[in-house]
Chain A
Amino acid sequence: MRSSALKHIRTVFAVLVLLLFVFLFIDFRGVFGDKAFGPILYLQFVPSFLKFVIAGVAASTGFIIILILTLLTGRTYCSFLCPLGILQDGVSRAGGLVKRRFRKYGYKKPYTILRYFILVVTAGILALGGVYVLTILDPYSTFGRLMTYFVQPVALFINNLLAGILGKFDIYSVYRVDIKPYELAAYIVPSAFLILIGLLAFRYGRLYCNTVCPVGTLLGLLSKVSLFRIRFDQDKCTRCGRCSMACKSSCIDFLNKSVDLSRCVNCFNCIDACKENGMSYGLVRPKRKQEKPDDTDASRRGFIAGSLVLLAGGSRLLSAQGTTPSPTRDSTVREDRLYPVSPPGSSGIEIFTSRCTACTLCVNACPTNVLQPSTSQYGFAGIMQPRMDFHSGFCNYDCTRCTDVCPTGAIMPLMPEAKKLTQIGKAVFIKENCIVHTEKTACGACSEHCPTKACHMVPYEGRLLIPEVRDEICIGCGACEYACPTRPFRAIFVDGNPIHEAASKPVTEELNTVPSEFPF
């Protein structure tokens, strides 16, 4: 096919996909239903691969489709389905608009050693049980973080501006949503990638995809032998070089009339650029030898073992305290949190940290903001993986949204009734910090918020009541910790269960006290 319609179809498709993913990640109003996430994310390569291989979800076959698609058509994924790739195309376009000469397209040699080194290291560490290199390099997760850390705050700012204006006219359908930054250390990786990818895309098009991205490199191995591919019409080509100058991947060597298929992302710009109809996309007789991805046999056991080692490093670290109004009297006893709290549906810290690529979709989807990117709570390798931060919010008793949105299988679906009995941690009461003990005045904010009354009030001095925790019915939702008014240390906090446990159902007896007359 020589039609420039290919490029236009690609552009329209890609813009729609990009918009879909942008909205998915900045959806602070929860417009996307819980069940919408699965189908949308099905074809994202790394999440689908992890969910299939590590979480063992047989239905997660999206990555196989992508592999087949690549064998048939080349790296179509990179231009049509990868949100990070499409985003870079947008940035490249902006770069071209700003200053065409500034953009350095044209054929360049690939950084072959570097790209295969990155692929081998990523796959190797994954095989040994560490997801953390993939966490940093997975294009889908990188895109997600760019949206969450940098785009969503802008969207919220605009929303709040609008809400303020509409509020003046008595319209409240647009409501304000407070912008709450994460812990500073969580910004290191996303900021570095924002700069790296931004600059590379601005000047060099798809250089990042063809050098750093392990998915790009892997699919490049397959696209070398794809059935459909970009090719020169040897007779028509005048070696004018327009194709090469239009190539975001810098993979067209027009002097030798050859295309480096491992780097070609099927953007079809070259077809559009060629005045002589000398470039086309079409069927090529496949070669006999086909390469298979070599990292599909990663050992599950290895993952868990590796993650255990990781966990040992950083699980004792405490979370930083947020800024809050100063109390009448400061609380004195520090919360001694042995383990961070991983989200419900994650089964436990080891499994969670071995599967999560920190795409932050759950962080955005969580209606209470209890899910926050970690800094060192899961250990250094677990940076950015979400944890339950009960100073930011608490887990809504009836909510299972994070379990529905997770694309990697790090958080597996839970039915609401199962979630209500999943104990992710246990509340620990520190009497020395409690208002009832220190001020001798009534409080009970913790018990007030407790959905199971695991945290309940028992007689203290005089008519005062003081909290007490029943471990067996506590699910670790953190409502108590969130509500506790003492500062800087809370009088009640949730210590994570390294492996989630089953809580007992709260027992209540029937009441028989319906009055038939007013007692006054």
Chain B
Amino acid sequence: MKRRNFLRSSLGAGLAAGAFMSLGGYEKAFAGKRLPSNVDYDLVAVMGGEPAAMFDMGIQALGGMGAFVKKGQKVLVKPNIGWDVVPEKGGNTNPLLVKRIIEHCYRAGAKEVYVFDNTCDNWIKCYKNSGIEQAVKDAGGKIVPANSESYYQEVTIPNGKKLTKAKVHELVLSSDVFINVPVLKHHSSAMMTGALKNMMGVVWDRGYWHRNHLNQCIADYALYSKKPSLNVMDAYNVMMRNGPRGVSVADLSNMKSLMLSTDWVAIDAAGAKLMGKEPSSIEHIAIAAGMGIGKMDLATMNIHRMKM
């Protein structure tokens, strides 16, 4: 049933996206055939399409979701659902993107796909008004609460400078695959929020991070053993100022972009650049790169750029 639904919706989306599409391997994504794996890309960047279609194209360049999700696995998809705002405000990850990622996971044979976020605004309103709760349900996934400390378990962060332990959501521990789906935004505290910063939504006590060198803590958390297998950055409507909540739609730049990477420092560096900032000027990116967590020098990366 799921497979059939997926194929049907894929066909619809494919037809719609086809009109905007330049030449490329896009249609192959819908043929269900997997291209040879090209996971040696440091970064895959897609521009010019709708979120779901860009993801179809981007994941194909990385060898399809099958390269990350194996049959029977439990998958955690972690979008940013931090704010009680509608999708048009760009405060949360695009629900259409979340939906498409979950569909790909199931198509790759995932047993179950879970989604949660430790939100800033009231979690029920965030889940609902972000459109993500519905998107997850539509895709057959499970949206899970993260509103109570009892859902969290303490873990140690090896070699963390400021952050040596954190209480993380039980699903981070119990899932087999972790897909990180941040939305690219300006951020008043960390200057920018992307893949690394999105992890503040899997821990319970964010206040500790704020009190103890926020940017160091963001980088430290990336040392924790349970890392995302894949990072997908939503840069469709990018909040250029007044982040992370945004004041009005005037804060958004309609970049219609999407990036994928297994390196979360690399994807954040690209995000920074997209927002017109040098990666090294974003403290947590610079610290994380310095700690060897990933690469931030975009010039030396193997980047696959695609336009739709």
Q: Which residues of A contact B (CB under 8 A)?
A: 30, 160, 164, 170, 172, 175-178, 324-325, 327-328, 367-368, 396-399, 435, 439, 441-445, 447-453, 456-457, 463, 465, 483, 485-486, 506, 508-511, 513-515, 517-520
- Chain A residue numbers with a CB within 8 Å of B248 are 506, 508
Name which of B5-13, B57-65, B140-148 contacts chain A.
Answer: B140-148
Does B293 have its Cβ within 8 Å of any Cβ on chain A? Answer: no
Contact residues of B between 230 and 266, Cβ < 8 Å to A: 240-245, 247-248, 250-255, 257
Does B210 have its Cβ within 8 Å of any Cβ on chain A? Answer: yes
Contacting pair B305 A518 (CB below 8 A): yes
Q: Which residue in chain B gives the minimum CB-CB distance to A178?
A: B148
Contacting pair A511 B213 (CB below 8 A): no
Contacting pair A450 B124 (CB below 8 A): no
Shortest distance between the CB of B239 and any CB in chain A (Å)? 10
Name which of B24-32, B33-41, B269-277 contacts chain A.
Answer: B269-277
* Of B212, B242, B253, B298, the contact of A513 (CB 8 Å cutoff): B253
* Of B151, B213, B240, B276, the contact of A176 (CB 8 Å cutoff): B151
What 1/0 flags go to B174-199 for Cβ under 8 Å of A? 00000000000001111100000000
* B interface, size bucket: 35 or more
Shortest distance between the CB of A406 and any CB in chain B (Å)? 19
Contacting pair A448 B120 (CB below 8 A): yes
* Of A367, A449, A519, the contact of B122 (CB 8 Å cutoff): A367
Does B157 have its Cβ within 8 Å of any Cβ on chain A? Answer: no
> Can you list 20 pairs linking A and B with CB atoms under 8 Å apart?
A160-B148, A172-B143, A172-B144, A177-B148, A368-B122, A398-B84, A439-B213, A444-B190, A447-B189, A448-B245, A453-B247, A483-B207, A485-B211, A506-B248, A508-B248, A508-B250, A513-B253, A515-B274, A520-B269, A520-B298
Q: List 9 extra interface pairs beyond A328-B211, A518-B305, CB under 8 A.
A: A172-B144, A178-B149, A368-B121, A399-B122, A442-B189, A444-B189, A448-B245, A506-B247, A520-B274
* Of A483, A508, A515, the contact of B255 (CB 8 Å cutoff): A515
Contact residues of B between 98 and 128, Cβ < 8 Å to A: 112, 120-122, 124-125
Contacting pair B189 A396 (CB below 8 A): no
* Of A439, A441, A509, A520, the contact of B273 (CB 8 Å cutoff): A520
Contacting pair A518 B211 (CB below 8 A): no
Contact residues of B between 262 and 295, Cβ < 8 Å to A: 269-270, 273-274, 276, 281, 283
Report the bound CA distance from A485 to B124 in whole Å.
23
Shortest distance between the CB of A73 and any CB in chain B (Å)? 43
Report the bound CA distance from A160 to B149 in whole Å.
12
- Chain B residue numbers with a CB within 8 Å of A448 are 120, 187-189, 243-245
Shortest distance between the CB of B111 and any CB in chain A (Å)? 10
Q: Which among B129, B142, B215, B248 has the greatest number of chain A C-beta atoms within 10 A?
A: B248
- A-B pair count, CB < 8 Å, reads 148
Report the bound CA distance from A441 to B148 in whole Å.
29
Shortest distance between the CB of B249 and any CB in chain A (Å)? 9
- Chain B residue numbers with a CB within 8 Å of A457 are 188
Which 7 pairs, one residue from A and one from B, show the smallest C-beta to C-beta distance? Answer: A444-B189, A447-B188, A175-B145, A485-B207, A485-B210, A176-B148, A520-B298
* Of B124, B191, B244, B281, the contact of A367 (CB 8 Å cutoff): B124
Does B172 have its Cβ within 8 Å of any Cβ on chain A? Answer: no
Report the bound CA distance from A420 to B142 in whole Å.
33
Report the bound CA distance from A163 to B147 in whole Å.
12
Knowing A175-B147, A396-B121, A514-B254, the reply to whether A451 touches B211 (Cβ < 8 A) is: no
Contacting pair B283 A463 (CB below 8 A): yes
Q: Which residue in chain A gives the minimum CB-CB distance to B193?
A: A448
Q: Which residue in chain A gives the minimum CB-CB distance to B214?
A: A442
* Of B147, B214, B250, B298, the contact of A511 (CB 8 Å cutoff): B250
Report the bound CA distance from A444 to B144 in whole Å.
28
Report the bound CA distance from A510 to B303 in whole Å.
32
Contacting pair B274 A442 (CB below 8 A): no
- Chain A residue numbers with a CB within 8 Å of B241 are 511
Does B47 have its Cβ within 8 Å of any Cβ on chain A? Answer: yes
Report the bound CA distance from A448 to B187 in whole Å.
7
Contacting pair A486 B211 (CB below 8 A): yes
Report the bound CA distance from A465 to B243 in whole Å.
14
Report the bound CA distance from A448 to B250 in whole Å.
17
Contacting pair A177 B147 (CB below 8 A): yes
* Of A170, A176, A435, A439, the contact of B112 (CB 8 Å cutoff): A170
Q: Which among B245, B253, B269 has the greatest number of chain A C-beta atoms within 10 A?
A: B245
Report the bound CA distance from A251 to B241 in whole Å.
72
